[in-house]
Amino acid sequence: MSDKSIGDRIADLREYRGMTQEELAARSGVHVDTIRKLEQNNRRSARLGTLLALARALDTELDRLLGQPTVTTELPEDGGLIALRDAIQDISALPGVPTDDLDDDPPSADVWMGQVRDATTLYWEGEYSQLANSLPLLLRDGRAVARETTGSLGEKVWNRLALSYQLAASLATQAGHLDWAFEAVAKQLQAAERASDPLMEGMGVSTLSWVLLRQGRWDEAQTVAERKADALEPSMRRSTNAQHAVYGNLLVAAATPAARRDRKDEAEQFLNFAEAAAVRSGPVRVYGTAFSQTDVKTQIVNIALAGSEPDPAKALEASRHVDLQAIKRPVHLAAHRVDVALAQYQTGDSDGALDTLLEVEADQPEWIQYQTLARATVAEMREEEKRRNTKLRGLAARLRIEPGV
C-alpha cells in the first residue's frame, strides 16, 4: 500500500492535470482553503461529498483518491486478482489471435454448477481472498463446459457462466479494478444471451449500473437500469417471483445514482415501485442475489445519505424499520450497518458510529477494507477527533487510512 495521504494524491493529480489550487476549487466547487489544508496535510480527510467533488473535478475515481486496496489480503495459491484479470480478458476468445490448442479436462456440468453456487456463497460472505483464488479456474472451466454442453443443459450452463462473470465483475469492482469489471459485465451479458435468459440479462444490467456508479457515471448508471426495468416490467397477472425480483433489483439499482444526482424524488419513486415488487415476489434468492422488502428498506437508508444534502436523521429513522434478522447475506448486513454508522456520526453520535464500525469490522474484517464509505467515514472521524481515541486510531490504522501506517 502507498503511504501517501489523500492530500498527497490530490496534489499529485492536480499537478498532473496542470491545474492550480484555485482552478481546482473553481472546477470542483470546493473552497480553496480546504484544498490547501488537505494538500499540506493540515487536514487528513474531508466530508464524503467534498471528496466526491474533488475526484470528479480531477477526473478520477473516489476509490483511487482514498487509496482503496486493490489487492486481496492473502497472497494467492493458484488464483488471485491478476489471474482473475487474465481469465476475464481471455485472449483465446479474440478473433484472429493464434493460441495453443485447448486441452481442457473440465468437470462435469453438474459439478461445475455446484462450484458456482459455492463461489456465490463466498462472495456474499465477504471471503474475497478465497473467491479470488477459485474464480479464475471457475471461469476457465465454465467456458470449457459450455463448449461441450448442448440442449437445455447447455442453456443452464451458459446461465451459470453468466453468473460467474457477475461474480467476477463484483469482485473486481470491490477491489477497485473497474475496467476489468466492465469487461466481465459485457461477458455476463453475452453469456445470458446464449442462455436465452432475459432475466439474467436484467441482472447483468443491474451489475453494469453498479459498475457505472462506481466509475462516477451516475447519469448512465440510472438510465441503463431504468430502461431495463421498463423493458422487463412484469405483468400483474402472468409473472413469476423471479421476474418481480429482477425488476425490483433494477429499480433499486436506478435509485442509488438518482439520489447521488440529487434527484431524491425520483429515487424514492423507484424504491416505492421496488417495494411493491417485493410484496408480490416475497423473499427470493435468484440469479446469485436476493430480493425482499428488507432489501428495499435498507436502500431507503442509503439514499437518505446520498447527494449534496444528506438527511442522516431520516436515515436513522428509516433504519429503525429494518429487520436485521431478515438480512441473510452477511455483506449486505455489513453494508447497511456502515450506512447506519455514517448516519450516527453525522447526527453527532460519534461513539455509536465507532461502535457500529468496530462491530462491522469484527464480522467482516476483509470486506470492510474495500468499502469506500467506511474508509471515508473513519477518515473524517479521525480528522475531527476531539481527544485521542485509541479504538478509533486502531481502526484507522487497520484500514490503512493514516499515512505511514
Mean pLDDT in consecutive groups of 10 residues from the start of the chain, 405 residues: 74 87 92 91 78 82 70 64 90 77 76 96 93 93 93 95 97 91 97 96 97 91 97 85 95 96 95 96 90 96 91 96 93 96 95 97 93 88 84 89 50
362: Cβ contacts below 8 Å, ≥ 6 apart: none
Vertex 312: Cα angle to 55 and 35 (nearest 5): 30
What is the predicted pLDDT for the residue at 405?
Answer: 32
In the CATH scheme, what is the code of domain 1-67?
1.10.260.40
Start-to-end Cα distance in the chain: 9
| Residue labelled with grid coordinates 397477472 | 237
Which pLDDT does position 244 carry in this prediction?
Answer: 95
The runs of H, that is alpha helices, within 150-240 are 151-174, 178-194, 198-214, 218-232
**CATH 1.10.260.40 in the chain, residue ranges:** 1-67
pLDDT for residue 204: 97
Tracing cell 482552478 back to the chain, one arrives at: 23
In the block, cell 435509485 appears at 255
